[in-house]
Amino acid sequence: MTFRILVVDDEPAIRAELEEALQESGFTTASAGDGRAAAALARQQAFDLCVSDIRMPVETGIDLLRQLSSDSPETMVMLMTAHGELATAVEALRLGAVDYLLKPFRNEELLAKVRRLADHRRLIVENRNLRRLVELAAARDGTIVGDGPAMRRVHAIVERVASLPTHVLITGESGTGKDLVARAIHARGSRASAPFVPINCAAIPEPLLESELFGHVRGAFTGALDNKEGLLRTAGDGTIFLDELGDMPLALQVKLLRAIESREIQPVGSTRRVQIDARIVAATHRDLRAEAAAGRFREDLYYRLAVVELRVPPLRERRDDIPALAQHFLHRYARELGCDVAAIDAAAMDLLVAHDWRGNVRELSNAIERAVIFCSGRSVTVDDLPDALRDGTNAAEAVHDAGHEAGGVASDGVAPDGEPAAAVGDDALDLRTATAAFEREHILQVIAQCGGNKRRAARLLGLGVTSLYRKLGNAVARRDHI
């Protein structure tokens, strides 16, 4: 890890000697002749440590310490002072200096202190990165599951862009797993060991969102008691994930666009600009082209971020992945809840595959968690699933059933007790009986053509699996050849 040191002293010979000693020990250095010049240099580039004399003609080391505490809180400060200024050095420690050197000192003494501080900074960075890796590992426990045609396209794009610096825009309905795709892009690329920093743009009020993204200085607004580093800088050379980007206010969109183009941000209340190197991955459930046409989203920001636009398909377009997803969530929640549930039976799985999942993967996850909680055996059955699935309340199925149940007649043309429904006249009775008989015969023929695969038959018939089972129940009562 590169450790960058700013050396500040009004005597050129001392600056040169210290820089030479530090560089020979493998450190990267820059120098300034007074506190004002040093503060200006620190605004242009980041330093891990500033080694500064206290007594200088323009601005003292104490002045510089205060300035760096405000402008560059990540920079550690070590002060050099004469024996007669020991009280001043103690005051500097109180103000935030990490150490001090008493003049005269040997270069070995300086190098020993610098190495200790460099090791301290390295441990901080390593611990931060380890926490990020743990978070990523936890995120991969809910990683992108599915290998159907739709998801294979998603996987291919993720692998293609993961190691590139290109910004990515992820689109798709709510609950499709856009955040997992963003994490996969980060985890599979060259930035995997750097931070992954997510922020939900829709969940934070505009004034706070600006502070979260760009940071602020102490006193910038009421309640700003300390300096705060914005997430765009906290992400370092990692990834910042801007979730629900379509809900970002227009005023902030302008500042974000400027930050992307200049690779710099300006904290709220500050006059200085800070360099950033984070990659931006954004996500939205909105149609940003339409939002831009309506004046609710900046078209130039859309094109800046949508260099690669990746659409995550809704669950109803990737039904082949539902069994794998359901098993994945089953194992996760069985482990987390301490339940001895290991499988999902065939009838329950048929219902899961047939459901429309308007809430997408998030809804499926909730349904499986509920099923694990209520399951009394080792396998999830139809009775363990939420009412919406067991009652077959998909929108298309509800419309279909409503048409057949008008007048209190069940969807298979017979009354609830299994007898032909009563009617006003014989003609109506005959028509309903004939319709029910034809329906049953037709269902049996389609099931036979599908080799007994009721799920496929239900799709061909335009029925939900629940309705098919209900109709089959009546058919079995009258016909014995299923």
pLDDT tens figures, 126-176: 766 655 555 444 444 436 777 788 888 888 899 899 888 889 999 999 999
Please report the pLDDT score of residue 44 as a whole number: 83
Counting beta carbons within 10 angstroms of the beta carbon of residue 422, is it exposed (0 to 12), middle (13 to 18) or buried (19 or more)?
Answer: exposed
4-121 and 141-313: same fold? yes
The answer on pLDDT for 460 being more than 70 is: yes
Please report the pLDDT score of residue 414 as a whole number: 34
Tell me the sheet residues that pair with 97. Answer: none
CB atoms within 10 A of CB 417: 7
> Average pLDDT in the 19-40 region?
92
- The ranges assigned to domains in the chain are 4-121, 141-313, 320-390, 395-478
Q: Which helix (H) or strand (E) holds 330?
A: helix 322-337
> Average pLDDT in the 293-311 region?
92
> Average pLDDT in the 450-471 region?
72
**Across 7-16, 404-413, 462-471, least confident range:** 404-413
**Across 20-24, 187-191, 224-228, 466-470, least confident range:** 466-470
> Average pLDDT in the 245-270 region?
91
Please report the pLDDT score of residue 434 as a whole number: 59
46-99 pLDDT, tens digit per residue, is 899 999 998 888 888 898 998 888 788 888 999 998 766 677 777 888 888 888
Give the pTM: 0.55
| Region of residue 451 (phi > 0: left; psi between -120 and 50: alpha; otherwise: beta) | left
The answer on pLDDT for 411 being more than 70 is: no
Contact between 216 and 267 under an 8 Å Cβ cutoff? The reply is yes
Say which CATH architecture domain 4-121 belongs to. Answer: 3-Layer(aba) Sandwich (3.40)
Confidence bin at 398 (pLDDT 50/70/90): very low
Confidence bin at 472 (pLDDT 50/70/90): low
Confidence bin at 433 (pLDDT 50/70/90): low
189-213 pLDDT, tens digit per residue, is 888 888 899 999 988 888 789 888 9
> Average pLDDT in the 319-323 region?
90
CB atoms within 10 A of CB 205: 8
Please report the pLDDT score of residue 129 as a whole number: 61
**Mean pLDDT over all residues of the chain?**
80
Residue of higher predicted confidence among 197 and 1: 197
Q: Could you give the count of Cα atoms lying within 13 Å of 173 in the half-sphere of its Cβ?
A: 14
Contact between 379 and 345 under an 8 Å Cβ cutoff? The reply is yes
Please report the pLDDT score of residue 431 as a whole number: 53
Q: What is the DSSP letter of 114?
A: H
The answer on pLDDT for 123 being more than 70 is: yes
The answer on pLDDT for 221 being more than 80 is: no
Contact between 181 and 175 under an 8 Å Cβ cutoff? The reply is no
Please report the pLDDT score of residue 309 as a whole number: 93
- For the domain made up of 320-390, the CATH class stated in words is mainly alpha
Please report the pLDDT score of residue 22 as a whole number: 94
The answer on pLDDT for 430 being more than 70 is: no
Nearest to 320 by CA among 353, 277, 362: 353
The CATH code for residues 141-313 is: 3.40.50.300
What's the residue count for the chain?
482
